[in-house]
Structure 1
């Protein structure tokens, strides 16, 4: 990936342009609904209160996640809807996204623990950022998940 053409953008829901919102919805649908063959209600009324972290290459959305304030999904602040474009997998984009997300979530919502609901196949990935498994595996929309906390 040519780093000269890649950049991060973080916006509140209200400040997303229609094109940015469309790119986010399109990527979330491509991966969560089509690729993972999972029918679920993606529009969960949490986007409006979240910050949206986008990683772009030119005008193409490479990776995305949302940063949720404490009390919205969990008592702790949270990172959710983490997704990388299949086209950019194994390029390090996901690692860059999570590194940036951790920095930003602390800037926006203060220090302290971050809780996520991780798909079980990503336990090692999130573990490499200091997230620790907590609780038991559970099924969410037919996919195995586990809560993880980064103290």
Structure 2
């Protein structure tokens, strides 16, 4: 974790596109943690469960949706832990997906698994988009969490 100024605490995962695009993975201001769009990469920045691409360079199917969503939550949990937080502290999440029906089916399962409950206690948005940062990427999730502001 890096302090850029006393009121703002930032965290990164050390993947190449942080520097290339010029952003941080998470920012904590007071009692709120804002997590940038997460995707399904490992610690080295290699995409986990990349979608197979068709001749036009677009995802050929969405069978990797569940695996990508699961790894995305794993990455979010890593960032939350930097601030002593967990998914229990998440108040809102937004899933940006290339295919809403497959994301709804996969997300319904994985969200319950990751949050450890049939009714995760956070607002959730599922938004269909036409493309994401990497061609093999079919989901990206942002998170907002609120924690006890005195726990720095």
Q: Structure 1 length as normaliser, TM-score?
A: 0.36
Question: Which structure: greater strand fraction?
Answer: 1
- Which has the bigger relative contact order, CA under 8 A and spacing at least 6? 2
Question: Which structure: greater helix fraction?
Answer: 1
- The structure that has the greater radius of gyration is 2
